[in-house]
Amino acid sequence: MIHISEADVYDVTIVGGGPAGLFSAFYSGLRELKTKIIEYHPFLGGKVNVYPEKIVWDIGAMPPLPGQQVVENMVQQGLTFDPEVVLNEEVVSIDKNEAGFFVVKASSGNVHYSKTVIVAVGGGILNPKRLPIANASDFENKNLHYTIKNLKDFKNKRVLISGGGNSATDWAKELSGIAKEVYIACRSDFSCHESQITYLQNHSVVCFTQTEIAELVANASGDRIEKVALKNRESGVKQYIPIDEVIVNHGYERDKSLLEDSPLDIQIFDHYFIAGSSSSESSISGLFAAGDILHHDGKLHLIAGAFQDAANAVNQAKLYLEPEATKTAMVSSHNEKLYGRNEKIVADLLRE
């Protein structure tokens, strides 16, 4: 039997360092729980890092900000109470030992022990769905993109976006005032907010529905896309559009191995999501979920929803560890750790 010292055991171990994981860490600190974050990537912030210039609108009481600023704010808040942070660590399974501790194993061979676990892996490891065209990989890192790091790179360019969700239409909206021409092709019908469609139609963005990329035509030297063949899936008709840049936003591959390879009998919804409650509980006592990985009937797939999941998960973890504890944390502004910071904010406001 392996001896585990108390110093090696955390109250809460959070698997995933995106919005849900970071807010879980913050709220866990409020509730004075010894906390660890384990993140696969060498950075915190999750999928928001993929969209550093995308404007994020859906966090209440916060003005629209580019993704990079949102990440910086979330990381600063998440690290307020100095949780242990382990980066570049891929969690491959979660189990429970005979002592009742969760055993969180990593591909590195490292083993992490915890009294409770919050799974906050979102859509899984960030692997964008590649364009299923034979020669697509020839143009990656040239003029075929799966994300946008700098909007200025598309100035006065002819840009085609493939995708019909909110991320794709957001890019079309942002680029409509920068690029020379913007086309957006959706393989079915658009699945974004109605206001996005209205905006695109009113700002000269050419929208194609039931349309997919059928062919990428290279230039004479063969190193860049010169034309794209768009095929209407209903009529079969193809049309060729001269293009400078292609952006593909078809979502991300979901890595199901963590839940599939964990010995625990975690109830799963739709082959990937953790089937849980609106209080972020899972089918395993002491294991909770937050963010996009969690499914329940009232689930809200927004960053704001991830924050609520996180607070619920931490509150349930606290009660699991201390059944006599209050059901929720006190208002964060009353916490001693934040008191000095709040005083400074108020003083700065009074000086303005």
Is the Cβ–Cβ distance between 89 and 38 less than 8 Å?
yes
Centre a 10 Å sphere on the Cβ of residue 72 and count the other Cβ atoms it contains: 14
Is the Cβ–Cβ distance between 310 and 15 less than 8 Å?
no
Q: Flag whether 91 is marked binding.
A: yes
Q: Flag whether 47 is marked binding.
A: yes
Checking if the pLDDT of 346 tops 80, the result is: no
Domain boundaries, the chain: 6-126+253-351, 131-250
Please identify which residue in the block is written with the tokens 């916490």.
335
> Which phi and psi (to 5°) does residue 337 adopt?
-60, -30
What one-character-per-residue DSSP string does 123-155 give? TSS-EEPPP--TTGGGGBTTTEESS-S-GGGGT
pLDDT, greater one: 141 or 124: 141
Checking if the pLDDT of 203 tops 60, the result is: yes
Percent of the chain with pLDDT strictly greater than 70: 94
**Termini Cα distance of the chain:** 62
CA distance 26 to 332: 10
Q: Flag whether 39 is marked binding.
A: yes
pLDDT reported for residue 317: 98
Is the Cβ–Cβ distance between 35 and 83 less than 8 Å?
yes
What one-character-per-residue DSSP string does 60-121 give? TTS--EEHHHHHHHHHHHHTTT--EEE-S--EEEEEE-TTS-EEEEETTS-EEEEEEEEE--
The amino acid occupying position 216 is: L
The amino acid occupying position 43 is: F
- Name 49's Cβ contacts closer than 8 Å, sequence gap at least 6: 41, 43, 67, 68, 71
The HSE-up count of residue 270 (CA atoms within 13 Å, CB side) is 9
pLDDT reported for residue 55: 85
| pLDDT (tens digit per residue) in 8-54 | 999 999 999 999 999 999 999 999 999 999 999 999 999 888 888 88
Is the Cβ–Cβ distance between 117 and 71 less than 8 Å?
no
> Which phi and psi (to 5°) does residue 286 adopt?
90, -10
Sign of the torsion angle spanned by Cα atoms 15, 17, 19, 25? positive
Listed residue (291, 311, 324) closest to 20, CA to CA: 291
Q: For all residues of the chain together, what is the average pLDDT?
A: 91
Question: Which stretch of 31-35, 100-104, 268-272, 283-287 has the lowest confidence by average pLDDT?
Answer: 268-272
| pLDDT (tens digit per residue) in 130-150 | 999 999 999 998 999 998 888
Checking if the pLDDT of 84 tops 80, the result is: yes
Q: How confident is the model at residue 2 (pLDDT cuts 50, 70, 90)?
A: low
The amino acid occupying position 66 is: P
For range 194-202, the mean pLDDT: 86
pLDDT reported for residue 73: 95
pLDDT, greater one: 155 or 204: 155
CATH of domain 131-250: 3.50.50.60
> Which phi and psi (to 5°) does residue 291 adopt?
85, -160
> Which phi and psi (to 5°) does residue 350 adopt?
-70, -30
Is the Cβ–Cβ distance between 37 and 84 less than 8 Å?
yes
pLDDT reported for residue 343: 57
pLDDT reported for residue 108: 96
Q: How confident is the model at residue 256 (pLDDT cuts 50, 70, 90)?
A: confident
**Maximum CA extent, the chain:** 73
Checking if the pLDDT of 161 tops 80, the result is: yes
The HSE-up count of residue 11 (CA atoms within 13 Å, CB side) is 21
Listed ranges 162-171, 209-218, 248-257; the one with the highest mean pLDDT: 209-218
Does 3.50.50.60 match the CATH number of domain 6-126+253-351? yes
Q: Flag whether 240 is marked binding.
A: no
| The two domains 6-126+253-351 and 131-250 share their CATH topology (first three levels equal) | yes
Q: Flag whether 155 is marked binding.
A: no
- List, as own/partner pairs, every contact residues 230-238 make where C-beta atoms lie below 8 angstroms and the sequence separation is at least 24, other chains included: 230/185, 232/208, 233/187, 234/210, 238/214
